């Protein structure tokens, strides 16, 4: 582990950072936040996936056209000024950006225009060529895939002409030549993104802050990964999914959750010792000190739903060759640091695998009050020291929003009985934060919104809603010295500094 003692940190997506470009980015705002964390006694900055997003898919960082590519919206124009790739004239006529929300269409238009101007001034360097060499296993496929998507008006790759859909070598070389400028522009943006990430990680190292990243377990069907490696996914002779991902019906959903991602062909992955997965994990660890694996239980067994079904009810459980996979992981990345997302109904085999691999799990206090507390893994008195404990995650409401808008009367009363009194609603964020910090969990992670005492207006994501998510941004005026001192004092009170 990066930190073996009690520690605490803040969950804040990069997109939620303040700044003048309509969306948080990896530039001065991110480096300033690292300094804020350090001054506030925090050892961890947890972020959401930094992958490319798609407005048609609700801008979710968990729905991306690439498992490897970075989101060019997080490239900082301020950094491009410093290296001479942008001038003041390039930003003379910027549209107004709302301060409290990300306006994705406007941000995309502006960032694309600024990056195109920077590209006109860019001269490939030795560092750029080294980046291409080190990432050749994915970056050229991604760039050509994205350029072809643009050429065909956004059509899914399985609707392209057969010679491109089936990746005929001559057709790919011809397309790469014809689309050379578009491909080079896409490569340039990836170079800028990963250069920015490298600078941010160095800043974190210098300030003693651990970067905790997030790895979605599945990829989109319409992605560079499935197009470039269809044999690694469970597709039929027409290159359509045989089955798709989801989770079965449970207490929260009578029909389950139908995610729709293509499922992995684990036997094909096994044939070359899971090299695609190993490269993906190594790629994430090159950016982050620790990586949270979303839906970890899918690495033991997965719920497979027939392609075309409208609900997840008729799925079946299928096993993963997990022993072989984890053996490959131990061999190829022996010192890897991972956090297992183990929320929901978890079977003993998942818990056993986490213990064998020394992967900490998660607990979320907002899940603690909905039923009996004797066996509830989310109530603090049931925590183990190896956990990463949260007040809430990106999928939860804020603590105040939960108490005001989501919690049932039973949950409010249970919280009151646990405290020994009924709290005033304005006290709830601080109470929940202190429950997490005072617990025995090794790591305690608090969304920034809960330190600020914000309500539902600051919620990041509401699962199963198609729009209005991933937009909240912090006000730069909230990062006061008073807030820093309060957060640091809390970390000291509970032995986390």
The residues facing 302 across adjacent strands are 318
Collect all residues with Cβ–Cβ distance below 8 Å to 250 and sequence separation of at least 6: 256, 344, 345
Q: Mean pLDDT, to the nearest integer, of 308-320?
A: 95
DSSP H or E run through 186: helix 180-207
Of residues 294, 309, 313, 427, which has the active-site annotation?
A: 294
The residues facing 304 across adjacent strands are 245, 316
- 232 touches 239 (CB < 8 A): no
DSSP 18-68: --TTSS--SSHHHHHHHHHHHHTT--EEE----B---GGGTT-TTS-S-SS
Taking all residues of the chain, what is their mean pLDDT, rounded to a whole number? 95
Look at residue 80 and tell me if it is in a domain. yes
Cα distances (Å, whole numbers) of residue 177 to 180, 182, 236, 422: 5, 10, 31, 68
Q: Mean pLDDT, to the nearest integer, of 290-307?
A: 96
Of residues 141, 341, 450, 471, which has the active-site annotation?
A: 341
Q: How confident is the model at residue 118 (pLDDT cuts 50, 70, 90)?
A: very high
Alpha helices in 274-408 (DSSP H): 275-287, 322-332, 348-357, 399-401
Edge to edge, what strands does the sheet with 210-215 contain? Answer: 338-340, 290-293, 210-215, 44-46, 7-11, 443-447, 388-390, 362-364
pLDDT tops 80 at residue 253: no
Q: How confident is the model at residue 2 (pLDDT cuts 50, 70, 90)?
A: very low
Of residues 168, 273, 309, 395, which has the active-site annotation?
A: 395
Closest CA to 368 of 402, 341, 404: 402
d(CA 86, CA 168): 39
Judged on CB neighbours under 10 Å (0-12, 13-18, 19+), 182 is middle
Check if 430 is active-site: no
Look at residue 262 and tell me if it is in a domain. no
Look at residue 235 and tell me if it is in a domain. no
Prediction pTM value: 0.96
The residues facing 286 across adjacent strands are none
Full residue range of the structural domain in which residue 183 is found: 7-218+268-300+321-493
The pLDDT of residue 251 is 63
First to last CA, the chain: 17
Cα distances (Å, whole numbers) of residue 201 to 15, 26, 326: 17, 10, 27
The pLDDT of residue 4 is 53
Collect all residues with Cβ–Cβ distance below 8 Å to 368 and sequence separation of at least 6: 376, 378, 379, 380, 418
pLDDT digits (tens, 9 = 90+) for 119-175: 999 999 999 999 999 999 999 999 999 999 999 999 999 999 999 999 999 999 999
DSSP 236-247: -TTS-BSEEEEE
d(CA 297, CA 295): 5
DSSP H or E run through 319: strand 316-319
Look at residue 258 and tell me if it is in a domain. no
Q: How confident is the model at residue 252 (pLDDT cuts 50, 70, 90)?
A: low
Region at 167 (left for phi over 0; alpha for psi -120 to 50; beta for the rest): left
pLDDT tops 80 at residue 250: no
With DSSP H G I counted as helix, E B as strand and the rest as coil, what are the percentages for the chain, rounded to 5?
45, 15, 40
Number of domains into which the chain is organized: 1
Closest CA to 233 of 277, 190, 198: 277
Check if 341 is active-site: yes
Q: How confident is the model at residue 180 (pLDDT cuts 50, 70, 90)?
A: very high
What percent of the chain stands above pLDDT 70? 99
Q: How confident is the model at residue 249 (pLDDT cuts 50, 70, 90)?
A: confident
pLDDT digits (tens, 9 = 90+) for 67-85: 999 999 999 999 999 999 9
Look at residue 314 and tell me if it is in a domain. no
- 12 touches 445 (CB < 8 A): no
Domain CATH for 25: 3.20.20.80
Look at residue 260 and tell me if it is in a domain. no
Q: Mean pLDDT, to the nearest integer, of 2-30?
A: 92
Rg of the chain, C-alpha, whole Å: 23
Q: What is the DSSP code (8-state) at residue 440?
A: S
Say whether 302 sits in a helix, a strand or coil: strand
Look at residue 244 and tell me if it is in a domain. no
d(CA 324, CA 328): 6
Cα distances (Å, whole numbers) of residue 224 to 115, 157, 175, 191, 368: 22, 9, 15, 17, 40
- 215 touches 283 (CB < 8 A): no
Check if 395 is active-site: yes
The pLDDT of residue 350 is 95
What is the bridge-based pairing of β-strands 257-262 and 243-247? antiparallel
pLDDT digits (tens, 9 = 90+) for 316-350: 999 999 999 999 999 999 987 999 999 987 899 99
Look at residue 415 and tell me if it is in a domain. yes
Position with higher pLDDT, 226 vs 334: 226
């Amino acid at each position: 582990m990066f930190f073996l003692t009690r520690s605490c940190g803040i969950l804040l997506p990069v997109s939620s950072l303040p700044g003048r470009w309509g969306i948080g980015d990896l530039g001065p705002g991110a480096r300033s936040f690292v300094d804020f964390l350090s001054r506030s006694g925090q050892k961890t900055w947890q972020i959401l996936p930094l992958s490319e997003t798609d407005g048609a898919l609700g801008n979710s960082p968990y729905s991306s056209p690439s498992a490897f590519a970075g989101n060019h919206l997080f490239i900082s124009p301020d950094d491009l000024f410093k290296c001479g790739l942008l001038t003041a004239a390039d930003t003379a006529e910027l549209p107004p950006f709302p301060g409290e929300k990300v306006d994705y269409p406007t941000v995309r238009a502006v960032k694309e225009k600024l990056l195109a101007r920077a590209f006109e001034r860019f001269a490939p360097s030795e560092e750029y060529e080294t980046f291409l060499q080190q990432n050749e296993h994915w970056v050229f496929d991604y760039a050509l895939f994205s350029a072809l998507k643009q050429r065909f008006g956004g059509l899914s790759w399985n609707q392209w002409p057969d010679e491109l859909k089936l990746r005929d070598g001559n057709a790919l070389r011809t397309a790469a030549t014809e689309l050379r400028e578009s491909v080079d522009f896409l490569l340039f943006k990836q170079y800028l993104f990963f250069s920015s990430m490298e600078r941010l990680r160095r800043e974190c190292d210098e300030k003693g802050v651990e970067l905790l990243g997030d790895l979605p377990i599945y990829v989109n069907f319409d992605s560079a990964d499935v197009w470039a490696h269809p044999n690694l996914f469970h597709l039929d002779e027409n290159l359509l999914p045989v089955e798709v991902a989801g989770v079965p019906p449970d207490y929260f959903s009578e029909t389950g959750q139908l995610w729709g991602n293509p499922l992995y062909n684990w036997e094909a992955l096994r044939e070359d010792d899971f090299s695609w997965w190993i490269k993906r994990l190594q790629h994430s660890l090159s950016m982050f000190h620790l990586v949270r694996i979303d839906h970890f239980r899918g690495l033991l067994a997965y719920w497979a739903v027939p392609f075309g079904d409208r609900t997840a009810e008729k799925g079946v459980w299928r096993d993963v060759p997990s022993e072989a996979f984890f053996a490959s992981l131990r061999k190829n990345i022996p010192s890897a640091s991972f956090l297992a997302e183990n929320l929901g109904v978890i079977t003993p085999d998942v818990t056993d695998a986490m213990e064998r691999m020394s992967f900490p799990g998660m607990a979320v206090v907002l899940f603690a009050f909905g039923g009996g507390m004797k066996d509830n893994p989310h109530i603090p008195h049931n925590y183990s020291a190896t956990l990463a404990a949260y007040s809430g995650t990106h999928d939860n409401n804020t603590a105040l929003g939960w108490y005001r808008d989501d919690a049932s009367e039973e949950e409010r009363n249970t919280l009151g009985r646990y405290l020994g009194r009924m709290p005033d609603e304005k006290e709830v964020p601080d109470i929940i934060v202190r429950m997490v910090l005072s617990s025995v969990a090794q790591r305690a992670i608090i969304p920034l919104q809960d330190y600020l005492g914000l309500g539902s207006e600051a919620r990041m994501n509401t699962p199963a809603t198609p729009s209005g998510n991933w937009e909240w941004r912090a006000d730069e005026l909230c990062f006061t010295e008073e807030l820093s001192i309060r957060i640091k004092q809390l970390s000291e009170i509970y032995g986390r500094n």
